[in-house]
Amino acid sequence: MRKSTISATILAVLIGVAGSISLVQADDAILAQREQAMKGMGAQMKTIKDLVGSGGPAGDVVAPAQKIAEIAATIPGLFPEGSGGDEVRPEIWQNWNDFVAKAQALGNEATMLAAAAEGGDMATVGAQFEKVGGACSACHKAYRE
């Protein structure tokens, strides 16, 4: 009887450890996806900033602006409840609807930036680019450490 109790205890511990490892791996995976998305968005922002600063062709802003909009649509899914991370405030999950609204606002501003770029006027593109940056900042101020 004692041997089966010990075996059952060992099995329970192993199952618990395996479950913990799976959760850690899942957290690591989502954190890596989140980091990749944010760095990707930052790279697109830099591309646009350089184009706006140099007076480059407005049409060259369309693709990076569209990419920002695409990434913005994925943001809520990159922050499952409790996923944490070094730069994430818990207020994200306490104010989830606001967080989602800020991600949507970023996507909307980026979509409007792509439309402005298609219009060809770099002054309009520059003004809309500032709005995209403002949408990024609004979320960072509220939810990033």
Binding residue positions for heme c = 136, 139-140
* CA–CA separation, 20 and 132 (whole Å): 39
Binding positions are 136, 139-140
How many of the other CB atoms lie within 10 Å of CB of 143?
20
CA distances from 143 to 17, 109, 138 (A): 32, 19, 9
SS3 115: helix
53 CB burial (10 A radius; 0-12, 13-18, 19+): exposed
Cβ atoms < 10 Å from Cβ of 61: 25
Token readout for 34 is 């989140």
